[in-house]
Amino acid sequence: MEITKKNMNTMFWITVILFLILPIILEKFVPIHFYSSYWFLSFPSIFIVLFRFGPKLGITILGVSSLIHIIWEVCEFIRTGELISKEEFEMIIIVNLVKVSVTILTTVYLVKINQHRKELQILNEKLGKLAHMDHLTGLPNRLMLEDYINQVIKISEKYNERFSVMFLDLDRFKEINDTLGHATGDYLLIQVAERLQRSVRKNDVVFRLAGDEFVIVLKDITKEECRNVAERIINEMSDSFILEGMESGISPSIGISFYPENGRSYQEILKNADKAMYFAKLKGKNNFQFI
């Protein structure tokens, strides 16, 4: 039978109520003092509520349960015809006040721990992102590239698939960087990253390796599809870039390797793509070459 959200909520509240009334039921059948049974058995329901609905509702139910048990204890004295002494009444009040105080302090402590845990988690996520992302372009960096390719190798090996790695270097980038300055060079790299992401397929991933070097990983792809992506990149880069108010042209040289034909490890695949990129430069730049 499928457990619905409504059924789960019903089971939750049944558990809470059971723990709240269990001390009363237990005292009827077991020779245990009310204070000790109430103290230990009512705590589980309180903490269940604290973690399920937060401190406000948890403390509210705590107060209500304490009031119910105070009234019940007084009513028991009246029902049995016993006279409740001042000391006994004070003991009832003290037990409940101590329970409320301990639970409130525990709640505050748990809330602070949870808050610190969340802050630490957010900080770790930010540090992890900084470690794996290029701060300039926002693309994954070299560290992320190695992890990603190793994962793709495992998947491709398992399902007998092939994937491609494109190694891209920008022609004339050093000239622009030296002439117009590093700030302009950085702006150009940001624009290049945006154009590369527009050129690739939805599941392809663009990485910035270093400087003006980019790597693209294309999963489950044929040679013809890879050729089409490379041509789109070259066409996209053929449009002029506006730098310092002037039109500037830049072109890519692209080397392409395949798994498993051109290597079965991260180092081999990347090395062969890099080698193919140099072939593209030797052939006049602004083109792509397969290894």
Is 136 inside any structural domain? no
Task: Indicate whether 209 belongs to any domain.
Answer: yes
Domain's final residue, options 95, 129, 163: 129
**Residue linked to tokens 């701060």:** 135
Lowest mean pLDDT across 19-28, 199-208, 236-245? 19-28
**208-258 residue pLDDT tens:** 998 899 999 999 899 999 999 999 999 999 998 888 878 888 999 999 999
Residue 163: pLDDT band with limits 50, 70, 90 = very high
Quote the CA–CA distance of 286 and 171 in Å, as a whole number: 7
Q: Domain boundary residue among 64, 98, 129?
A: 129
Does 165 share its domain with 282?
yes
122 plus 158 within the same structural domain: no
**Model pTM greater than 0.85?**
no
Tell me what pLDDT residue 69 has. 66
pLDDT in the model for residue 55: 64
| 187, 193 contact by CB (below 8 A) | no
**Residue 1 scores a pLDDT above 50:** no
Same domain, 37 and 148: no
Same domain? For 236 and 166 the reply is: yes
What number of other Cβ atoms are within 10 A of residue 38's Cβ?
26
Q: Is the peptide bond before 55 cis (omega within 30 degrees of 0)?
A: no
Q: Are residues 148 and 53 in the same domain?
A: no
Confidence of residue 165 (pLDDT cuts 50, 70, 90): very high
User: Does pLDDT of 160 surpass 60?
Assistant: yes
Q: Are residues 55 and 148 in the same domain?
A: no
Domain contains 134: no
> Cα–Cα distance between 130 and 120 in angstroms, integer?
15
The string of pLDDT tens digits covering residues 30-86 is 554 544 445 454 555 556 666 666 666 666 766 676 677 667 766 766 666 665 667
pLDDT at 274: 96
What is the rounded average pLDDT of the residues 189-205? 94
pLDDT for 214: 97
- Residue pair 266/157 in contact (Cβ under 8 Å)? The answer is no
Domain boundaries, position 154: 142-290
Active site residues: 212
Alpha carbon distances (Å) from 167 to 21, 89, 162, 164, 218? 70, 82, 17, 10, 11
- Asked if residue 129 has pLDDT above 80, the reply is no
Residues 258 and 122 in one domain: no
Residue type, 290: F
**Same domain, yes or no, for 148 and 116?**
no
Do 150 and 282 fall into the same domain?
A: yes
Question: Do 71 and 30 sit in the same domain of this protein?
Answer: yes
Q: If you write DSSP's letter for every residue of 67-136 in order, what string do you get?
A: HHHHHHHHHHHHHTTPPPPHHHHHHHHHHHHHHHHHHHHHHHHHHHHHHHHHHHHHHHHHHHHHHHB-TT
Task: Say whether pLDDT at 272 is over 60.
Answer: yes
Q: Which CATH number belongs to the domain containing residue 275 in this structure?
A: 3.30.70.270
Asked if residue 244 is part of any domain, the answer here is yes
Q: What is the pLDDT of residues 86-128, one digit of tens each?
A: 776 777 677 667 766 766 676 677 667 777 788 888 877 776 6
- pLDDT for the residue 20: 60
Q: How confident is the model at residue 9 (pLDDT cuts 50, 70, 90)?
A: low
Q: How much of the chain, in percent, has pLDDT values that exceed 70?
A: 67
pLDDT higher than 60, residue 156: yes
Q: Quick one: 183 and 162 in the same domain?
A: yes
Pair (166, 189) in one structural domain: yes
Place of tokens 């926002």: 138
Number of domains in the chain: 2
Q: Please give the C-alpha separations between residue 183 and each of 135, 187, 211, 213, in angstroms, as whole numbers.
A: 14, 6, 13, 17
Is residue 103 within 8 A of residue 72, CB to CB? The reply is: no
Tokens of 9: 């909520």
pLDDT band for position 172 (cuts 50, 70, 90): confident
Whether 223 maps to a domain, the answer reads yes
Position 135 in a domain: no
Q: Residue 18: inside a domain, yes or no?
A: yes
Residue 94: the pLDDT is 75
In a domain, 154, yes or no: yes
Exposed, middle or buried: residue 278 (CB in 10 Å: 0-12, 13-18, 19+)? middle
